């Protein structure tokens, strides 16, 4: 039997977090939202790191993909002295030899990869927004349904005393504010925090001393 996260026994503690726990009813959507968040942040970080060779090429300081791969292996080797498992990230010599050595062709390859990453990142961001808003709207709809049922079953004296219009207005307005809070929690907080972390990691890649 599916747990009722809006049952009175579960709505304890802070009211906002009590209703936020109701979103756990949609664990599948939340899990996919987290996956899309990671993909969006990952593509952003890789995209920022990929701008370095593009800028160097524009400024006339570009090399080629083989040089970049060799530099990558050198960085991995240095990092592996601190954390040995990173050594598995090294590219094989056969892979490096298969990369283009022409600077212009290398730049074209990098631009194609950056375009693909942009499309993937934008798609992941859209799916994150879609999934998170779906969870929020379904949760708020369930809250409103519970609230309406409570008002309909309330004693007539209580409804007359507070006014039916006031009860309906409170249900609509309060649930709208709840939806805004849940949206910030599940949508904006996740995506902005993850992108901030990705940008911070990319800054370390460019120059950890400056970062």
List pLDDT tens digits, range 182-197: 888 888 888 888 888 8
Which residue, among 52, 56, 21, has the nearest Cα to 142 in the 3D structure?
21
Return the DSSP state at 96. Answer: H
Q: Mean pLDDT, to the nearest integer, of 19-33? A: 87
Q: Mean pLDDT, to the nearest integer, of 21-31? A: 87
Residue, of 108 and 116, whose pLDDT is higher: 116
Which residue, among 47, 99, 40, has the nearest Cα to 71 in the 3D structure?
99
Which pLDDT score, from 0 to 100, does residue 5 have?
45
pLDDT above 90 coverage of the chain, percent: 13
Which pLDDT score, from 0 to 100, does residue 9 have?
47
From residue 172, give the alpha-carbon distance in Å to each of 23, 148, 156, 168. Answer: 19, 10, 20, 6
Which residue, among 139, 130, 116, 148, has the nearest Cα to 187 in the 3D structure?
130
Side-chain half-sphere CA neighbours of 79 within 13 A: 13
Residue, of 153 and 196, whose pLDDT is higher: 196
Q: Mean pLDDT, to the nearest integer, of 44-54? A: 78
Which pLDDT score, from 0 to 100, does residue 57 have?
61
Which pLDDT score, from 0 to 100, does residue 149 have?
81
Task: Please tell me which of 35-39, 147-151, 154-158, 203-207 the model is most confident about, judged by mean pLDDT.
Answer: 35-39
């Amino acid at each position: 039997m599916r747990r009722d996260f809006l049952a009175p026994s579960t709505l304890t503690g802070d009211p906002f977090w009590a209703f936020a726990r109701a979103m756990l009813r949609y664990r599948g959507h939340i899990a996919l939202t987290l996956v899309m968040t990671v993909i969006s942040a990952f593509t952003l970080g890789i995209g920022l790191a990929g701008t370095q060779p593009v800028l160097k090429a524009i400024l006339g300081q570009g090399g080629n993909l083989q040089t970049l791969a060799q530099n990558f292996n050198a960085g991995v080797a240095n990092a592996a002295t601190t954390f040995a498992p990173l050594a598995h990230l090294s590219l094989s010599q056969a892979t490096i030899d298969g990369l283009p050595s022409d600077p212009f062709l290398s730049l074209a390859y990098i631009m194609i990869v950056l375009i693909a990453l942009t499309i993937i990142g934008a798609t992941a961001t859209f799916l994150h927004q879609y999934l998170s808003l779906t969870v929020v709207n379904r949760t708020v709809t369930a809250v409103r349904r519970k609230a309406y049922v409570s008002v309909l079953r309330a004693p007539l004296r209580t409804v007359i005393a507070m006014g039916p219009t006031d009860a309906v207005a409170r249900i609509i307005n309060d649930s709208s504010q709840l939806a805004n809070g849940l949206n910030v929690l599940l949508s904006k907080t996740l995506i902005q925090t993850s992108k901030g972390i990705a940008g911070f990691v990319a800054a370390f890649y460019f120059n950890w001393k400056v970062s």
